Structure 1
């Protein structure tokens, strides 16, 4: 698989071409100031990455539980997710 790399400006100007490349199985890496910042990839590759991330997170959760890690209620989880960040933390 050949990787194509373009600047944000080039990607914007030729987005349809990069989408067509992705449909054909060829990713395009988008760079800003010479650094990779995004990619247009075939949807199957994106879905595989999402699935792999889900499996990894599930394995990590199982390991924590196996080590006697505690559980939390949904209310505790939501409170933690929506709590204000600690501004004094370094």
Structure 2
């Protein structure tokens, strides 16, 4: 099997072994806007796409912890456990 990787404006197709050996080049191609289809035994298995395309397909809806904390109502009081701490013998 001969794998030729061109990385131009259309999508290239490569075998998974070739992709593993040339991951850096595939990522650089994605950065330039060229997606790459990765096959396993001739069957499409995965695709490396430019980040902008991926963000459009899978928008990040996760909110950061800082955003959650800032959204807490002011003056929120939490009960504190008054049980004394146990001693540790060292």
TM interval, short-chain normalised:
0.5 to 0.7
- Identify, as 1 or 2, the structure richer in helix: 1
Per-residue deviation, residues 34-71 of structure 1 (Å, max 9, x unmatched)? 011101110000010013xx8xxxxxxxxxxxxxxxxx
Measured on the aligned residues, the alpha-carbon RMSD in Å equals 1.2
User: Which structure has the larger Rg over C-alpha atoms?
Assistant: 2
- Which of the residues 45, 48, 56 maps onto 2:56? 48
Q: Distance in 2 between matches of 1:35 and 1:47?
A: 25
Structure 2 match to 1:7: 15
Pairwise CA distance, 1:30: 0.2
TM-score (normalizing by structure 2): 0.55
Structure 1 match to 2:40: 32
The ranges of structure 1 where at least 4 consecutive aligned residues each deviate by more than 6 angstroms after the TM superposition are none
The answer for unaligned runs of 5 or more in structure 1 is 55-90
Q: Distance in 2 between matches of 1:21 and 1:47?
A: 17
The answer for unaligned runs of 5 or more in structure 2 is 1-8, 62-90
Aligned residues: 52
